[in-house]
A and B are shown apart, each in its own frame.
Chain A
Amino acid sequence: MLENFGYLGVFLIAALLFALTMIMLPPLLRRFGIVPKKPNPVKSSTYECGMDTVGKSWVQFNFRYYFYALIFVIFDIQVVFLYPWAVSLGQLGLFGLVEMAVFFLILIVGFVYAWKKGVLEWK
């Protein structure tokens, strides 16, 4: 089985090299004069439909996303517990189901609270 993970590592490195090769092709072709490189101030300015950019581009953003992210983290971690449970539910039986239901119930209470508090709404 460890061998299989070795293969996976080879695949990941090869995939990275593959992407790198593709992105390095145009700079290589530029050496031969096939790909142009003629930057000018207007061309390399920020594209905002012809308007000049006002202020910084890295602006502050809606706080809403933060709450979603919080809920996401909770349930994401819970799903990590869920997968081994799902695979071996056959052996765990009814006890396993009840156990997981209780675990979920605790989190669901929090989710319902957040829902009722209006976290999932955009105002």
Chain B
Amino acid sequence: MNDCLDEPRLQKPLNSTSDQQVTSLIDIRGLNKWYGQFHVLRDINLQVNKGEKIVICGPSGSGKSTLIRCINCLEEHQQGSIVVDGTRLTNDLDNIETIRREVGMVFQQFNLFPHLTILENCTLAPIWVRKQSKKEAEKVAMEYLERVHIPDQAHKYPGQLSGGQQQRVVIARSLCMNPEVVLFDEPTSALDPEMIKEVLDVMIELAREGMTMLCVTHEMGFARTVADRVIFMDEGQIIEQAPPAEFFDHPRSERTRKFLGQVLNH
């Protein structure tokens, strides 16, 4: 992050030379990250437009989770620029907080707050970060809990819910902040098979309603149904990106073909 220290705070995205151009919601250029000596993200260039649904897939260790965690600064990057909705991600705490308000995240391990009720989990951030009143926040929370089909669980604790229900709460919790984009980090990988469908259904509904989504997942069926673009990553690089039809039926790279062969076989 050292090279970003002196750059002024940008109000406009980098490529706003023409008013007619579609401005990217997320603009990643030349992103490089190292864990010590290990080069985990290599020269990533990625633009995500508003309303786009992107699925990122690849073998484990390819850096896909690391990439999306860089977007909301859960991981720090050493080189390159990330601009989210006009705000550049630097080490300025105000920028980071602005970006985190606009970016929602759904985790593989749920990470609900076990000592708060479902409703409290959803209203916590709106009250303390967006400074909404308790009544307002609860109204919004109940709406989203209905959208994910579990309004009756509002006063229970996370420990009392099944895995599928918990993950749906996580989706609702991130939606309560009214984000511009939601990141999904392998949302169904920790679920028992019979609960994967209920979560995927909610994600599909969300996609249909026009939310910008960036999903790291192994669920290829979901990718085919919903994605505008599928991205394949391997060894820290973006190997290939294409609309799903093209990606699954006519993969261009050898590595993509190999991966698809392994994943789609069962």
A binds B: no
Residues of B within 8 A of A (CB): none
